[in-house]
Amino acid sequence: MRLLFDQGTPAPLRRHLGDHEVETVAERGWSELGNGDLIARAEDEGYDILVTTDQNMRYQQNLAGQRLAVVVLLSTAWPYVRLRTEDIRSAVNQVRPGEFREVPIPREGPTSDRPG
């Protein structure tokens, strides 16, 4: 499948989705596009899935009748996202055209308020 990473999606994630073709909006020169235009352009260019961290996109965009699916990561922080690569891969493999699928990214690991 062809995946497009939106702004904010940690680029290192692409290494964990090696069975898919991954490009970023920056690589395509689409960084200035708004969400509606981005979705339209991605669909026109044959992308199957947009991976984003924009949690408001599902409330701003209607994917009914679209071929594009959207996977929303609920964090931009790579230290936490990398712990959920299996969940993300599963979401990418299961999401269907015209569907939004969110991937929770709990904040695990050391915190500054723990004794050191």
Among all chains, which residue has been given the structure tokens 């969400």? 35
pLDDT digits (tens, 9 = 90+) for 21-80: 999 999 999 999 999 999 999 999 999 999 999 998 888 887 888 899 999 999 999 999
Mean pLDDT of 8-16: 96
Q: Containing H/E element for 21? A: strand 21-24
Greatest Cα pair distance in the chain: 53
pLDDT digits (tens, 9 = 90+) for 74-112: 999 999 999 999 999 999 999 999 999 999 999 865 444
Whole-prediction pTM value?
0.89
Confidence of residue 114 (pLDDT cuts 50, 70, 90): very low
Token representation of residue 56:
């408001």
Predicted confidence at residue 40, as pLDDT, reads 94
Using DSSP's 3-state secondary structure scheme, residue 76 falls into coil
DSSP 67-84: S-EEEEES---HHHHGGG
